[in-house]
A and B are shown apart, each in its own frame.
Chain A
Amino acid sequence: MARSAVGVVFCNIQDKNIPELSALRAIASVPFAGRYRLIDFALSNLVNAGITTVGIVTKNNYQSLIDHIGSGKDWDLARKDGGIILLPPYSNETDAPYTNRLEALKGVMSFLRHRNEDYVVLYDGDGVARLDITDVVRFHEQAGADITMVYQETMGTPSHYYMTLETGADNRVSAVSINPVLGQKKVNQYMNVMVMQREYLMNIIQNAAQSGLSSFGRDILSKNVDYIKIYGYKFDGYYAGMASLSAYFKANMDMLDKNIRDELFGARDIYTKVRDSAPSKYMNGCAVKNSLISDGCYIEGTVENSILFRGVKVGKGSVVKNSVLMQDTVVGSSVRLDCVITDKNVVIRDRRNLAGCEELPYYIAKGKML
């Protein structure tokens, strides 16, 4: 990496997009693709760019996140200097925990002040992509940008909080729109990753606090496109933003596509917490087609077009189709599932028949027994 950078990952800031999955956990620790959590992509991309210090900004429901990250060793981020730095919210009798990104950043000022890296990568831990951060920083330097925002050209996907960019021929951003109403047209969707100089960010935070600004998107970016040099870095690879439960469902199903899987995982450098599960067992008479199966599974029935997380059991005579079954889900015998998402530790008793549809997958909350 040309110049040094430090990462700051916001773990809760996009929670509202999937309230079902983020009810019990920060969105960054939502399980994904059989053995990962969303934050694994942010952390792995940062680490693969040679970044060895990552601040983890949390707000609430972050127990599962902390359990997942541990000391950071699985990402080689258990370091004497830097490594994973947990930044839980700061509050006292007069100050409540942060309610927006600027306040969140204000809470991590001392972390930023005590580092000596040149750049900061602000990364919301909710997107799935294999993003070359080294290249983003190089682009930022070459463009002489104040702020570089990573975006993808896409058909608009509405979510609770999102931004779109308008860019000129030289990639200079000429407008930033916040929560625009989208029709069926191409937009440059901001991917919730931006780069700037550490000193520059610290100035923004200080000025914002003094002027009482409250929205990073509106007050810093949108209003100032003519005064500060905001550049867009166009990303052409696979990107899944988690705009809703159905977007989450679709992104999981995308992993059944070999090209996407190879792009994300082909280099085997997306890191995650490891658990010592035994390899999966496929029993006599099972039938598994077009599915991803993580370790520790025990399959006696039929599984098609599905994602099975660690330790999932599928009993005899059961048919699981188009479904995402999270860790330790137990499917009894003669069960039929279609377009179902089960959260962790769900038990589905024998002969149950459950179905949703792609636009509205049937979601079963953590620990439920049906």
Chain B
Amino acid sequence: MQRKKECVAMLLAGGQGSRLYALTNKIAKPAVAFGAKYRIIDFPLSNCVNSGIDTVGVLTQYEPMELNEYIGNGQPWDLDRSFGGVHILSPYQAKKKSSWYEGTANAIYQNMNFMKKYNPDYVLILSGDHIYKMNYAKMVRAHIESNADCTIAAIEVPIQEASRFGILNVRDDGSIYQFEEKPKVPKSNLASMGIYVFSAEKLYKYLEMDDQNSTSSKDFGKDVLPAMLAAGEKMMSYRFEGYWKDVGTIPALWESNMDLLGVDPAFDVSDPTWKIHSRNPLAPPEYISETGKVDNSMIALGCEISGNVYNSVLSSNVVVEQGATVTDSIIMSGTVIKSGASVQYSVIDEHVTVGNNAVVGEEKAHAQGITVLGRDITVADGAVVSSGAIIDKDYKGD
């Protein structure tokens, strides 16, 4: 008998994430740092292993190097398996044709052989740009019990925001009768989370059909799901209640990081029953010096804090020198905030140097927006970066 996996997960991680601007100049969105020690992709990957799904294809396309290196052999997520495990699936050259992934559905279609190798009953499609904890096994169970061909995870969103999402219109039993992609006047506030469970044979069939359709944009939401619905396949919604955040924009990324802080955080990463696994930094514990002051913050290993850090999230190996102040900000790995500098309401990428007495951003209450500094740049001593600015080159001031 052929060895098989009941469920294989396919994680779409090829997106550029253009609305994260400077943060994704050199890396794909799922590789963006989050919550002091994580990267966005840690959340769907941890959800997979915590749900008992040990076979995951990660589809990459845009700037894949850092993501590939981060995932490596999958060992940090216990996904280094001899049968199954995590596999990076990049676009490839085939005998008959070769092409980049054209859309979400095409990306999965091009990796049909990967899925078929495991002979799965179900395929779980995930995206790599959301922060949430979800037991996918429960969703697969619901899919099986309702005898559905496709099940779509859905969450209620505020009705005034519903027009930003793909909206599911459902009957009382949760079955879907209509999709509306970003409707101007939404009929419901039930948004698709971009998480799908397919019965494998149905998925293969509709991906084949979609590939033959020259007018299709090769997208799940726009093409494949509507085609299945039109053909009368059984499509169910699966209600999710809990924290779920699309961190595809700078304000959303900032807010979601801030949601980790406080006594009763909106999102808790320290739940021992649902561990978020990640590649751990090789660094000693963080050091808070005699002159350091830290309040309401999250700080990762290897940081050296001699200045003030308030309401902020600091990734590993960040240095905050004496007299510097970091407030309401996210600072990623290896960044140095020099003496006397002020950083407020900002997102600073990895390996940035903020010079002595430089001023980055403004107090949140008065700021034009969140200030963003891209990776590897230097802000000169005494330079002033105005609030809401997005800087991706060395900056000496105006």
Contacts and interface: CB of A to CB of B under 8 A. Distances in A.
Interface of A: 33-36, 73, 255-256, 258, 261, 264-265, 268-271, 274-296, 298, 307-308
Contacts of A276: 76, 275-278, 280
Interface in B269-314: 269-270, 275-278, 280, 282-290, 292-302, 304, 309
Contact of B282 (A256, A271, A281, A294): A271
28 contacts: A33-B285, A34-B285, A256-B287, A258-B287, A261-B284, A265-B283, A269-B282, A270-B282, A276-B76, A278-B35, A279-B37, A279-B299, A280-B300, A282-B294, A282-B295, A282-B296, A282-B299, A283-B296, A284-B263, A284-B295, A284-B296, A286-B294, A288-B294, A289-B288, A293-B288, A295-B37, A296-B270, A308-B285
A35 B285 contact: yes
B282 A288 contact: no
B261 interface: yes
A8 B300 CA distance: 34
A290 to B, nearest CB: 5
Nearest to B287: A292
B160 to A, nearest CB: 32
A280 B289 contact: no
A295 B300 contact: yes
A274 B280 contact: yes
Contact of A289 (B263, B278, B289): B289
B284 A265 contact: yes
Contacts of B297: 281-282
Nearest to B73: A73
A346 B317 CA distance: 29
A268 B282 contact: yes
Given A282-B298, A282-B299, A294 B285 contact: yes
B298 A279 contact: yes
A285 B263 CA distance: 12
Contacts of B300: 279-280, 295
B290 A290 contact: yes
A218 to B, nearest CB: 39
B241 to A, nearest CB: 23
Interface in B81-128: none
CB-based closest 6 A-B pairs: A34-B285, A279-B36, A278-B270, A274-B280, A294-B285, A265-B284
Given A282-B296, A295-B301, 8 more contacts: A33-B285, A35-B284, A36-B284, A274-B76, A274-B280, A276-B276, A280-B299, A298-B270
Chain B, interface SS category: loop
Chain A, interface SS category: loop
Interface of B: 35-37, 75-76, 261-263, 269-270, 275-278, 280, 282-290, 292-302, 304, 309, 317
B37 A278 contact: yes
Contacts of B270: 277-278, 281, 296, 298
Nearest to A267: B282
A278 B292 contact: no
A277 B37 CA distance: 10
Contact of B288 (A35, A277, A290, A294): A290
B90 to A, nearest CB: 26
Given A274-B280, A294-B301, A296-B270, A280 B286 contact: yes
Contacts of A308: 285
Given A276-B275, A278-B270, A288 B288 contact: yes
Interface centre among A278, A289, A293 (most CB of B within 10 A): A278
B13 to A, nearest CB: 21
Contacts of B35: 278-279
Contact of A292 (B75, B275, B285, B317): B285
B368 to A, nearest CB: 28
Contact of A34 (B75, B282, B284): B284
A292 B294 contact: no
Interface centre among A264, A269, A293 (most CB of B within 10 A): A293
A169 to B, nearest CB: 39
Nearest to A266: B284
A271 B284 CA distance: 10
Contacts of B261: 281
A261 B287 contact: yes
A179 to B, nearest CB: 34
Contacts of A258: 287, 304
Nearest to B37: A279
B284 A288 contact: no
Contacts of B263: 283-284
A247 to B, nearest CB: 20
A202 B270 CA distance: 51
B133 to A, nearest CB: 12
Contacts of B283: 265, 268
Contacts of A290: 288-290
Interface centre among A275, A277, A294 (most CB of B within 10 A): A277
A274 B261 CA distance: 23
Interface centre among A35, A279, A291, A294 (most CB of B within 10 A): A279
Nearest to A294: B285
A291 B287 contact: yes
Given A276-B277, A278-B37, A35 B282 contact: no
Contacts of A280: 286, 298-300
A68 B270 CA distance: 22
A35 B295 contact: no
Contacts of B276: 276, 278
A275 B278 CA distance: 9
Contacts of A287: 293
Contact of B295 (A264, A285, A293, A307): A285
Contacts of B285: 33-35, 292-295, 307-308
Nearest to B294: A282
Contacts of A269: 282
A295 B262 CA distance: 17
Nearest to B75: A73
Nearest to A35: B285
A101 to B, nearest CB: 32
B324 to A, nearest CB: 17
Nearest to A256: B287
A292 B276 CA distance: 23
